[in-house]
Structure 1
Amino acid sequence: MFLRRSITAVTAATAICAVTAPVASAAGSAPRASGTSLAGPANPAAAPGTSISVTSRSAASDAAASGKKTPKALYGKADPKYDGVWRQSMALLALDAAGAEPARAAVDWLTSQQCDDGSFTAYRAEPGAACDEKTPGDTNATGAAVQALAAVGSQDATVRKALAWLRSVQNKDGGWSYNPGGPSDANSVSVVVGALSAAGKAPEKVTKDGKSPYDALTSLQLGCDAKAAERGAFAYQPDKDGKLAANDDATAAAVLAGTGSGLLPERKPDRPVEPLKCGKGDGGKPLARDEAADAGAAHLTSVLEKNGDHLLAVTPGAKGTPDYANTADAVIALAAAGHRAEARKPLNWLAEKLDSWDKAESDPAAVAGVMLAVHATGGDASTLKGTKLLDRLVATGPEPARMPDEKATGGMTKKEGGGSDVLRWSLLGAGLAAGVGVGFLISARRKRQGL
């Protein structure tokens, strides 16, 4: 989640990624990715602290204009050029959250997108071709893919290779940028922290020059020296003068990362929100990880309450309108931090307004983001107040090998790795059982015959 950028911005960023600040979202139909938003300036020329999440033209129209067909194993019908890996990862995570088992083809499609160096890029039209400067690996696609593949299981080699690449491009401040070599941003750090956590790694132990991801994150938080209404918020990145601007999307991403969780967070005991406490002399000293997450959650809660339980878009042309994807992100972050009571309010808002969101009908990343929000709060990810979210997601891609409460039909299994393995061991077990049964019969007959 937390990854959305406009098609125009992505094109510009790709051309100058080596010298500009990275974008914070994975474009196209849904990625902002968590539904997704991926905060931060999607356009290098945009004002710091803003997030670009509305495309200048739809990815679907791009696909129609090009005459290209999307791969059968990929979720969504829109052109995957800017968000293929992201939306596939989101779909697999949502299926797992709902208790469904993805089709083997859907998982294989995602693993086939990995570059030789272990990274993932937004989309590779020809997976067999080598990745180059035109298809550079990025931390967000890689982090999302790791979270998804760790969830479905049996992809250890792919996950290890991706994690090694992420370690290799970690910044000296302990964080990551969207494009390797750029300054760290809150959203990219969050996606990578989620990947590390999903793979069973302790994010705080993944360091560079003695700095952890949390050192990078807390350096982006506005503290007691900021305006009262902005305290606890996170910036996407510092501006060119080193100043921090509060960003709701970056705050949601940072809060989730501060819990040490990814998009499938463990459920924690519910607890109240605690705003940042400031006294005389408090200033620019970074908070500890847990304190930073709590302060961010308190700020996020205050913004949601002010806006009527949802976040607002800051995109040019859409400024002041509801930001559904970022609202779903906020739900996940608050729930992961143990603030489920506060998280349910924006989730209820989403339930009431879902029909007003055009992407919520058939955009896989958007639908998946809402499903993950439901899951994070302890609900059944397949539905939200009567809306059958799982059915909507399934309609956009390959039919799962198993729906919740159904018998597996030959997809991916987390331990055995496939239906053939399950069948093989089942037959072996049946053979052994039959052999034991025959042994008992022979033994009983011999006893009756006095042998």
Structure 2
Amino acid sequence: MNVRRSAAVLAATAVIGTATPVMAASPSPSPSVAIPSGLYGTTDPTYDGVWRQSLALIAQFRVDVKPAAKAINWLVGQQCANGAFAAFRAEPATACDAKVMADTNSTAAAVQALSAVGEQEVPIKKAVTWLKSVQNKDGGWGYLPGGPSDANSTAVVIGALNTWGDSEDVKKDGKSPYDALLDLALPCTDSGAFAYQPDKKGKLTANADATAAAVVGALDMSMVTARAAGESADPVCTDASDLTPEQAATNGASYLAESVKKDGYLKSALAGAEDRPDYGNTADAVVALAVTGGPKAAQQPLTWLEQNSADWAKQNGPAAYAQLILAASVAGADPRDFGGTDLVKQLNATGPEPKATAPAEEKKDEDDGGVSVWWIIGVGLVAGIGVGFLISSRNKGQQL
């Protein structure tokens, strides 16, 4: 889940079928459009408005914060009549036309966020219907409708379908989203990772960004539902003639574990920056490792983030805070005391003041069987609209 992205670049990638993901530029620190009062963050939302808003709402749900109504209303107001979402619409009162670049990632993230806040059945159903309508014949999704399937987009759409309770039943020409992910899984002799897309010759190349997203998707989880595995175990890559999504997820996690073993973080994929940390992808790797091998498997990169991510999150804003909150909550750390930083307070400060926040001291440890008040409310709302509830992003956060 990138904290920053360029819809124009990603769109071109999807249209022309570029085989490798394009690393996007950061949203301008000097917004070219007015920042809506209900939106989180102060940077130009042109390329990531819906994405960062969705992640902010999901992160608040995970830490028992009830968001402001205008934050939810802003997100709902971004939806096109056909159910799709674009990265950002400066004039949401104007109907969407051919110039509005709706994409699967913004739409899927919005579905997850609206499912988390509850009482949004109509916009969710419209968005899910649109996502189903643009599914590719291989069972997956590209960033733009009609673009070649990629692991990141397919994974975030699985998360959205998971919120609606029918991810296993969504197929195109007999192919499911999990078939699409398995098509992008490398054998253990070639790392066991996932590729983003095949290159022009059909070759698969390991991609940490895609792998972190695909691991969560292959386990049929979303940003909202991602939970650490019950038993701690180091992920082991195992080839099989009949590879299952679960084993592919474990294989991918083994690649991530090996990738962070030396330094504790994933390195940037940007040209010329091989030795620089990629904070966003490292946060997503924490989630992927925790959901496959338990909190212990994610401890090394989680500790590194606690010690090193504060400046990155401050500079990148709500989506970065949300990624760290997700990583901490899944891997068993306290988002309100993450390396001495209250991530929840920092996230809330980037947008409209939430309606309510459950005090940290009132939360009971899951080990004691305790359940917070807002968790009960959230689950009740989700169940009430028939939502069976992660990610990543598509779009993973890169260092500046």
Same fold (TM over 0.5): yes
Greater shift in the superposed pair: 335-344 or 157-166: 335-344
CA distance in 1, matches of 2:186, 2:3: 22
Question: Does 2:305 correspond to 1:345?
Answer: no
Query: What's the secondary structure of 2:254's corresponding residue?
Result: helix
Question: Does 2:327 correspond to 1:330?
Answer: no
CA distance in 1, matches of 2:81, 2:284: 31
| 8 Å CA contact 2:3, 2:280 repeated in 1 | no
| 8 Å CA contact 2:4, 2:47 repeated in 1 | no
CA distance in 2, matches of 1:215, 1:336: 20
Map Cα deviations across residues 198-246 of structure 1 (whole Å, 9 max, x no partner): 2333x2221111111010001001114xxx4x32111000001100010
Question: Does 2:155 correspond to 1:158?
Answer: no
Question: Does 2:198 correspond to 1:238?
Answer: yes
Cα offset for 1:50? 5.0
CA distance in 1, matches of 2:154, 2:111: 14
> Which one of the candidate residues 300, 304, 311 is aligned to 2:256?
300
- What's the counterpart of residue 69 of structure 1? 34
- What's the counterpart of residue 425 of structure 1? none
Instruction: Give the partner amino acid of 1:76.
Output: G
| 8 Å CA contact 1:91, 1:364 repeated in 2 | yes
After superposition, the Cα gap between the structure-2 partners of 1:355 and 1:136, relative to the gap in structure 1 and judged at 3 Å, is: closer
Whose relative contact order is higher, 1 or 2, with alpha carbons under 8 Å and at least 6 apart? 2
Cα offset for 1:317? 4.3
- What's the counterpart of residue 29 of structure 2? 60
CA distance in 1, matches of 2:187, 2:70: 47
| 8 Å CA contact 1:98, 1:390 repeated in 2 | yes
Over the aligned positions, Cα root-mean-square deviation in angstroms equals: 2.2
Cα offset for 1:58? 4.5
CA distance in 2, matches of 1:312, 1:205: 36
Query: What's the secondary structure of 1:190's corresponding residue?
Result: helix
Instruction: Give the partner amino acid of 2:292.
Output: A
> Which one of the candidate residues 255, 261, 269 is aligned to 2:221?
261
Identity %: 46
CA distance in 2, matches of 1:214, 1:398: 37
| 8 Å CA contact 2:194, 2:206 repeated in 1 | yes
Map Cα deviations across residues 170-215 of structure 1 (whole Å, 9 max, x no partner): 11111000001011000001100111112333x2221111111010
Instruction: Give the partner amino acid of 1:119.
Output: A
CA distance in 1, matches of 2:186, 2:307: 33
CA distance in 2, matches of 1:179, 1:11: 11
- Given the two structures, how large is their TM-score scaled by the length of structure 1? 0.76
After superposition, the Cα gap between the structure-2 partners of 1:182 and 1:286, relative to the gap in structure 1 and judged at 3 Å, is: farther
Query: What's the secondary structure of 1:60's corresponding residue?
Result: coil
| 8 Å CA contact 1:75, 1:364 repeated in 2 | yes
Structure 1 unmatched ranges of 5 or more:
22-43, 408-412, 418-451
After superposition, the Cα gap between the structure-2 partners of 1:87 and 1:327, relative to the gap in structure 1 and judged at 3 Å, is: same
| 8 Å CA contact 2:84, 2:130 repeated in 1 | yes
CA distance in 2, matches of 1:222, 1:337: 17
Cα offset for 1:135? 1.2
| 8 Å CA contact 1:2, 1:329 repeated in 2 | no
| 8 Å CA contact 1:217, 1:254 repeated in 2 | yes
- Given the two structures, how large is their TM-score scaled by the length of structure 2? 0.86
Cα offset for 1:376? 0.8
| 8 Å CA contact 1:96, 1:151 repeated in 2 | yes
Map Cα deviations across residues 410-431 of structure 1 (whole Å, 9 max, x no partner): xxx75998xxxxxxxxxxxxxx
- What's the counterpart of residue 368 of structure 1? 322
Cα offset for 1:292? 0.6
| 8 Å CA contact 1:2, 1:187 repeated in 2 | no
| 8 Å CA contact 1:140, 1:192 repeated in 2 | yes
How many residue pairs get aligned? The number is: 365
- What's the counterpart of residue 405 of structure 1? 359
Cα offset for 1:70? 0.3
- What's the counterpart of residue 389 of structure 2? none
Query: What's the secondary structure of 2:250's corresponding residue?
Result: helix
Question: What are the within-5 Å matches in structure 2 for residues 414-433 of structure 1?
Answer: none
Map Cα deviations across residues 335-382 of structure 1 (whole Å, 9 max, x no partner): 12243211121111001112342x435611011100111111133333
